[in-house]
Structure formats: C-alpha cells, structure tokens
Amino acid sequence: MKARDFIARYEAYCPQELSMEGDVSGLQLGTLDKEIKRVMVTLDVREPTVAEAITAGVDLIVTKHAPIFRPLKNLVSTPQNDILLQLVKHDIAVYVSHTNIDIVPDGLNDWFCQLLDIQDTEVLTATTDGYGIGRVGNIRPQSLEDLAHKVKMVFNLDSVRLIKYDEDNPEISRVAICGGSGQGFYQDALAKGAQAFITGDIYYHTAQDMLTQGLLAIDPGHHIEVLFIKGVIDKMTVWKEEENWDVELLASASSTNPFSHL
C-alpha cells in the first residue's frame, strides 16, 4: 500500500491540526508517495532505532519525538547528522506525531488515565476547539506514596521523584497528569482542583513553587511516553484488519531512555 494512504488513516484518528502552536508534526523525512511493506512505531529516532529499522527493512517510521526538532545548518556527517543520513540512505520515511497524540481523545494522556484508574476526566489545559492537553480526574483516595508506587509499578520504573516536603502526606483523590514535560501546566492543575500532578522533567524551583501553592507532584520521567508505541500499534492493528492492509507493523524494541538510577 502507499504510505500516503496509511498516514491518511492515522490522521483521520489523530489530525495534525490538533498539535500545539509551534509544534513539529507530520512527515519529516522521505516521501509518502512510496509503497510500504513494513512500518515501525517508536518513541524516539536514535542510533539504535535506526539500526533496528535498517535491519528489519522498514519503509516508514512513525515516531512521537521528531528527529529534527531544531533547524539544521548542514547535513555534513556528524554523530547527530548520521542518524538522518542513514535514514535517507536506506529510503526510510519518518512521520512525527507529537502533541496531537497527547491532545486527541483516546490518545496518550487518556491511555495513562486508564492505566492509573483516573476516572471522570477533563482536559488539563485547553488548546483549540474544545480539545486540550493533559487530563484531570478522580482516583480512589490514597496517599501520595501509594499513588507513586502505583505509577512506578504500572510504568515499570526503577524510581520516581516525589515533589513534597517531608511532613506532607495527605490523602489524594484528584490528580492531574500530562505526559512528557508538563510542568508549565501546573497552574491549570491547581485551578481544576488537583491535589497532585504527575508529569516529567520538573525543575527544582518549579517544584518549590508547586509546593508553596499547595500542589504535590510525582515525576516519573519523560520516558513513560513509551506507551505511545503500544497504543499506536494497537490502533493500527485494528485498521489493518478492517481495511485488509498488506503491511507488517513493528513495535520498536530499542531502548532510547537516556536515564537509569543506581
């Protein structure tokens, strides 16, 4: 089948137009006017991802994080540029779905809520036309530590960071969540009654500001967005069966998480 037809079905579910202003989404490398037999879904496009795609004979990569996020000055061979050059050399197209998959209903943030039993959800921060990024909802009352243990277990993490002072241990029943780096939305979490906020990459001083304003938080890291792979593969598998696609779907097995903890 044509890559263009494959992506048209994806965009019927998750339109580029839902992306936040200034975001990078859509085709970044190659062409959609090509026949495809193998599609790989990944969170990141890094050296192991590219090697995996080449070995598997992949024609199209669908990724959440764009391999080109800042303007390029050249394509001279360097360790960073070689990631792109190898993709071009092997005629592997790359399609990016970034904040649109965070925003779309039944997308990444809703999948997080399902895993953590966050109920009766609403959007955290409105974006456009009734859509929004992040979610706020209700959970069974529990301590912050119990919720953190659940986050750690559900996402198979070696650790999480708790944003709390030593004496803080209230019962939590309303939670906000945003995949990736969502600390900029913490005021909206407060405004919508959240007692705790689950998001990655929280800065030191932002954490202090959260606590001063009465918001606890759990930082599980950015990489929990790896759920993108399973969620998107599940969607594509349904479409493949419905439309009788002759295409193989591959979930990237490469580890692209740059962090581990001793």
In the chain, what are the domains? Answer: 3-101+225-251 (3.40.1390.30), 105-220 (3.40.1390.30)
**Helix (H/G/I), strand (E/B), else coil: 140:** strand
Arithmetic mean of pLDDT over the chain? 97
pLDDT of residue 170: 87
Q: What is the pLDDT of residue 167?
A: 79
Query: How many other C-beta atoms are found inside a 10 Å radius of the C-beta of residue 85?
Result: 15
Q: Which two tokens stand for residue 58?
A: 């992949």
List helix spans (H) across the chain.
3-13, 47-56, 79-89, 99-103, 108-116, 144-154, 186-191, 204-212, 227-243
Q: What is the pTM of this model?
A: 0.96
- Confidence grade of residue 129 (pLDDT, cut at 50, 70, 90): confident
- Can you tell me which residue has the tokens 């929004």? 132
Does residue 70 surpass a pLDDT of 90? Answer: no
Residue 40 has pLDDT above 80, yes or no: yes
Average pLDDT over residues 38-52: 98
Band (169; pLDDT cuts 50, 70, 90): confident
CB 1 within 8 A of CB 35: yes
Q: Of 201, 207, 204, which is closest to residue 224 (Cα–Cα)?
A: 201
**pLDDT band of 173, cuts 50, 70, 90:** very high
H or E element that contains 246: none
Position 183 confidence tier, pLDDT thresholds 50, 70, 90: very high
Which neighbouring-strand residues pair with 29? 94
Q: Among 126-130, 133-137, 150-154, which stretch is predicted with the lowest mean pLDDT?
A: 126-130
Residue 134 CA to residue 153 CA, distance in Å, equals 21
d(C-alpha 155, C-alpha 221), whole Å: 10
Q: Kindly tell me if the per-residue pLDDT of 214 is higher than 90.
A: yes
Handedness of CA 4, 56, 112, 245 (dihedral sign): positive
Q: What does the pLDDT average to over 166-176?
A: 89
Nearest to 253, CA basis, from 226, 232, 222, 234: 226
Confidence check: pLDDT of 136 > 80: yes
Average confidence (pLDDT) over 203-228? 98
pLDDT of 246 > 90? The answer is yes
